[in-house]
Amino acid sequence: MRVPILKQGHYLIASIQSALTDADLLQLRDDLAEMAGKYRSRGIIVDVTALDVMDSFAVRTLRAIAHILRMRGARTVIVGIQPDVAFAMVQMGLTLGDTQTALDLEEGLDLLERGRDPRE
Amino acid sequence: MKSLKGKGTPALLRNDSTSALLTELVAHLRQNRTQLREEWARRITESQLLTAMTKEEIFVEATSVYDNYVAVLETGSVEALQAYARDLSERIIPRGVETHEVVGIVLLLRDVLARSLFKKYQSDFALLNRVLDAYEPAANRIANTVAVGFVQERERIIRQQQEAIRELSTPVLQVRERLLILPIIGVIDPQRARQLTEQLLRGIRSNRAKVVVIDITGVPAVDATVANHLVQTVDASRLMGATVIVTGLSAEIAQTLVTIGVDLSKMKTIGDLQGGIEEAERLLGYKVILEAVETPPAMKRPAV
Residue A107 has pLDDT above 70, yes or no: yes
Interface with A, mutate which of B172, B210, B239 (most A CBs under 10 A): B239
For residue A116, the model assigns a pLDDT of 55
Q: Is A110 on the interface with B (CB under 8 A)?
A: no
Q: How far is CA B205 from CA A16, A45, A46, A80, B234, in A?
A: 19, 18, 18, 9, 15
- Choose the CATH number for A5-113 among 3.30.750.24, 1.20.58.2030, 1.20.1250.20, 3.40.640.10: 3.30.750.24
Q: Domain spans of chain A? A: 5-113
Q: Is A116 on the interface with B (CB under 8 A)?
A: no
Under 8 Å between Cβ of B190 and B125: no
B244 to chain A, closest Cα gap in Å: 9
Local structure of residue A54 (DSSP, 8 states)? -
For residue B295, the model assigns a pLDDT of 57
Q: Counting one residue from A and one from B, how many pairs have CB atoms under 8 Å apart?
A: 63
**Which pTM was predicted?**
0.62
For residue B139, the model assigns a pLDDT of 83
Of B202, B210, B232, the CB nearest to A90: B232
A120 to chain B, closest Cα gap in Å: 10
Q: Which residues of chain B have pLDDT under 50?
A: 1-14, 304
For residue B294, the model assigns a pLDDT of 62
pLDDT digits (tens, 9 = 90+) for B51-85: 778 878 888 888 888 888 888 878 877 787 888 88
pLDDT digits (tens, 9 = 90+) for A20-71: 899 999 999 999 999 998 999 999 999 999 998 889 999 999 999 999 998 8
pLDDT digits (tens, 9 = 90+) for B98-140: 888 888 888 888 888 888 888 888 888 888 888 888 888 888 8
Task: Name residue B174's beta-bridge partners.
Answer: B180
Under 8 Å between Cβ of A61 and A27: no
Q: Taking CA atoms, what residue in A is nearest to B244?
A: A119
